[in-house]
Structure 1
Amino acid sequence: MEFAGLTIEIALFLFTVAIIAGFLDTLAGGGGLLTLPALMMTGIPPLIALGTNKLQSCVGAGTASVMMLRKRRVRWHQVKDLMPAAFIGSTIGTIIIQFINTEALTFIIPVVISFIGIYFLITPTVDEKNKSAKVSASRYKNMVVPIIGGYDGILGPGTGSFFTLAGRSLRGQNFLEATAIAKTLNFSTNIASLIVFLFAGQVIWLVGITMMLGQLIGAWLGSHCLFKIPINYLRYLVVIMCFGMLIKYMTA
């Protein structure tokens, strides 16, 4: 699909947003809080914006996942059962969104952005210690992961943050472990959703490829900084990112 309104200025804007989103998404999740509103602000219809967003975000999530696995920040045995669960949930969610009035996204996205920003703002400072799990591994795999995957298929922004929060609060993972695992799950949900959007013809390739290059750069930079930045700073990044994009989105 083509986008007649794509100018050099818009392309540079989306490329820059993708770099920042890829960097922040690798660090703290929630890169979609930047890229999806940015796509919609250029005049792209909501459903097509969702599909194009999945195309470009696959590169960022994929790059981050490969880096996490190569550096052994996450082991394959930790995610080999979770990734299919996330894939299935996202597939179902993306199919559902094809039949929903996408104009509602104009109101839903600011609500989601606000919720995530407030959550990170008021929750206690995270620490590096593992805590006891509140749900079993099987329940987490069969219920929690597919539900978050379904959300990613329906909407998307903040999915990485949700996976991180779930791993942290429900499975007792330390913050960096939860963040690393979230990258692989987010990659799985992005791929599943992208496949459905491709079949539906809801992707603008030129825009997606432009942002893919930005995501690649941002994710590569972020993967080299993730374990060097103090944990508390990651929390503040998410808060600033959420409210900054909320203000931009509401005034666009």
Structure 2
Amino acid sequence: MEPLTLLALAVVGLAAGFVDAIAGGGGMLSLPALLSAGLPPVAALATNKMQSIVGTTIAATTYWRKGLVSLRALVPAILLTLAGSLLGALTVKNIDTGILDVIVPIALIAIAGYFMFAPKLTDADRAARLSFPIFVPLVGFGVGFYDGIFGPGTGSFLTLAFVALFGLGVTRAAGNTKVLNLASNLGALLLFIPSGDVVWPAALTMAVGQIAGGYLGALTGIRFGAKLIRPLVVVVSVAMALKLLLVP
């Protein structure tokens, strides 16, 4: 790949990591960039997973170090999310995912509406509607399975679940989302890497940008909390919905 192309991909990696660490949706920037650089679709998907896992790791670690994530409480969910993503990646070749092109944008718009209009969405924790130890692993498996099959909106779905079902404040929800996103990406990569689909020069170059973007994005999300994360989830969810509806 040309040096200027790699430089541009590094910049995209930084921007994608920054957005993804706060509200998810970094793939809206990174995946089109990889396709524009001439990668075939499967290679672009695999390379996108590889570069994004770096920024997700940095972001998840930053949230954890700031005391916003309990890894011990998430261990069962991490394992089931990874398993769900791997199963989804194995399943995708045998099913028609066309219906998701319609369902997912509607779900993303609903998520945007919830974060826009629901009262009392702050950084304060609230009473959970469902048991965290029992249902977070089930949600992780379901969302991981979806991520392995399709992908767009995974972060938004997880953040909504942590806020609406498990009573977490918005910033803690973002941190927990990053941890399960990491598990989901890893599950898919367990297939992509052995199959040789990752284009390593592009992945490693974008990973450099992801390191800075993931760290700065996590610090920004922690610094401004719900005041930033809430509107950004709305913007990212609507943008992803419009992209899925208008750009095949």
Question: Normalised by the shorter chain, which TM-score bucket?
Answer: 0.7 to 0.9
Are the aligned partners of 1:117 and 1:238 in contact in 2 as well (CA < 8 Å)? no
Deviations 1:3-61 (A, max 9, x none): xxx43443233222211111111111222232223323434222222111110011011
Number of residue pairs aligned between Structure 1 and Structure 2: 244
| 2:81 is aligned with 1:89 | no
- In the other structure, the counterpart of 1:25 is 20
Output the CA distance in 1 between the equivalents of 2:201 and 2:105.
27
Are the aligned partners of 2:6 and 2:202 in contact in 1 as well (CA < 8 Å)? yes
Q: CA deviation at 1:176?
A: 1.1
Indicate which of 157, 172, 184 corresponds to 2:152.
157
Could you say if the C-alpha distance between residues 75 and 214 of structure 1 is closer, same or farther in structure 2, counting changes exceeding 3 Å?
same
Q: Which moved more, 1:172-181 or 1:41-50?
A: 41-50
RMSD of aligned alpha carbons: 2.8
Amino acid at match of 1:187: L
Output the CA distance in 1 between the equivalents of 2:241 and 2:181.
22
What secondary structure, in the 3-state scheme, does the structure 1 residue paired with 2:168 have? coil
Q: What is the correspondence of 1:29-40 to structure 2 with a 5 Å cutoff? A: 29-40=24-35
Q: Which moved more, 1:65-74 or 1:8-17?
A: 8-17
When normalised by structure 2's length, the TM-score is: 0.84
Output the CA distance in 1 between the equivalents of 2:36 and 2:164.
34
Output the CA distance in 1 between the equivalents of 2:219 and 2:160.
22
- In the other structure, the counterpart of 2:7 is 12
Are the aligned partners of 1:114 and 1:242 in contact in 2 as well (CA < 8 Å)? no
- In the other structure, the counterpart of 1:52 is 47
Gaps (5+ residues) in structure 2? none
Q: Which moved more, 1:228-237 or 1:242-251?
A: 242-251
Deviations 1:178-214 (A, max 9, x none): 1111111111111111111112222111111111111
What secondary structure, in the 3-state scheme, does the structure 2 residue paired with 1:226 have? helix
Amino acid at match of 1:132: A
Could you say if the C-alpha distance between residues 208 and 101 of structure 1 is closer, same or farther in structure 2, counting changes exceeding 3 Å?
farther
Amino acid at match of 1:162: F
Could you say if the C-alpha distance between residues 77 and 192 of structure 1 is closer, same or farther in structure 2, counting changes exceeding 3 Å?
same
